[in-house]
Amino acid sequence: MADAGSVSVPGAAGRGAGAVLDVDHTHGETRPWEIRIVKHPERSESAHFRAAKKVAKRILQELGTDGAEPPYGPGPWEMHHGGSLWVMTGSGWRMYRARVGIEWSMQFCADPEKVDRLRQEAAELVAAFPFTLPALDALGYKRARDLLSTPVTDADGVEAWTDSLFNACVPMSNPHHSGVLPKAAGEHHYPWPTKSADFFKFDDFQLWVTLPDGTHAGVAPVDRRGSGDGHVRIVHARHGTPAGDILAEAQRRRMMAVAPPDSPVALAAFEQQIRPGARSASTRPSGR
């Protein structure tokens, strides 16, 4: 990446729209520039997205009627452009994730040829579940057949695919979708290899912890449940922070960044599994 200069944040920069990040140039440029925080441009909701959301809501209603659990927990949901591949199986609706999802704003750098590969992969998956297209027809989403069979060759095709049921309808609550720690870790802001554990971890393990400097980290146990080992491995920390630097160095050496069982990090991670007031997380977990 080219060196564009160091970025500093003036005292007024944190007060909302219109704040400016001043750039200290290092290449002798005579024309100053700055990064501004501005209002998001008006985003119109395409007919493709309206149709996709409508059928996704009907699918979720059917899941509820059948007593099935939604992919990422209860609503209210926002529809995340995360590569939603909905299919009708012999036991009802299921959602798989595409190799990659196309976030709405990223369509403007999307190569139609590469998007078409996603379309082909989705078409192959749907073909393996022959009940899918008739079920979508019954729900009023008749455009599914054209979406899956029409090659993506231009920006219009990219838009249609980006806002389709096969990309734009991963149902997530607002915290899981776009939350920011310490309140929640949204998929928009935290890496999926760590964030995904929110959907399969034990409920009494704290995946996200606050570090002494006020930043946050994602952590994981170093051994299986019941081992009594209270060490935790740091698996995500923000770049440029002390923990982030340590994690990067550990990865460079092909090693792990580990916090000891008597650290605030480990105690917070295992808080619900150890006795109140314990000074170390290396005790047999309570419960299971």
pLDDT, tens only, 213-266: 999 999 999 999 999 999 999 999 999 999 999 999 999 999 999 999 999 999
User: Is 196 in the same domain as 220?
Assistant: yes
User: Is 219 in the same domain as 114?
Assistant: no
pLDDT at 38: 78
User: Is 62 in the same domain as 134?
Assistant: yes
pLDDT at 44: 75
Rounded-to-integer distance, Cα 23 and Cα 8, Å? 6
Domain hosting 32: range is 6-36
User: Is 148 in the same domain as 64?
Assistant: yes
Q: Kindly state whether residue 275 falls inside one of the protein's structural domains.
A: no
pLDDT at 10: 39
Report CA Rg, the chain.
23
User: Is 148 in the same domain as 209?
Assistant: no
User: Is 86 in the same domain as 149?
Assistant: yes
Q: Kindly state whether residue 16 falls inside one of the protein's structural domains.
A: yes
User: Is 28 in the same domain as 70?
Assistant: no
User: Is 138 in the same domain as 23?
Assistant: no
pLDDT at 30: 60
User: Is 92 in the same domain as 71?
Assistant: yes
pLDDT at 68: 93
User: Is 165 in the same domain as 230?
Assistant: no
pLDDT at 41: 65
Q: Identify the DSSP state of 284.
A: P
Domain count, the chain: 3
pLDDT at 2: 38
10-residue averages of pLDDT along the chain (288 residues): 36 40 45 75 84 98 93 95 97 97 97 98 98 98 98 98 98 96 94 96 97 96 95 96 96 96 97 95 67
Query: Hey, is 265 helix, strand or coil?
Result: helix
Query: Hey, is 197 helix, strand or coil?
Result: helix
Residue 269 backbone phi and psi in degrees, to 5: -65, -40
Rounded-to-integer distance, Cα 56 and Cα 53, Å? 5
Q: Which residues contact 91 (CB under 8 A, 6 or more apart)?
A: none
User: Is 118 in the same domain as 193?
Assistant: no
Q: How many CA atoms lie within 13 A of 207 on its CB side?
A: 20
Q: Kindly state whether residue 285 falls inside one of the protein's structural domains.
A: no
Q: Kindly state whether residue 177 falls inside one of the protein's structural domains.
A: no
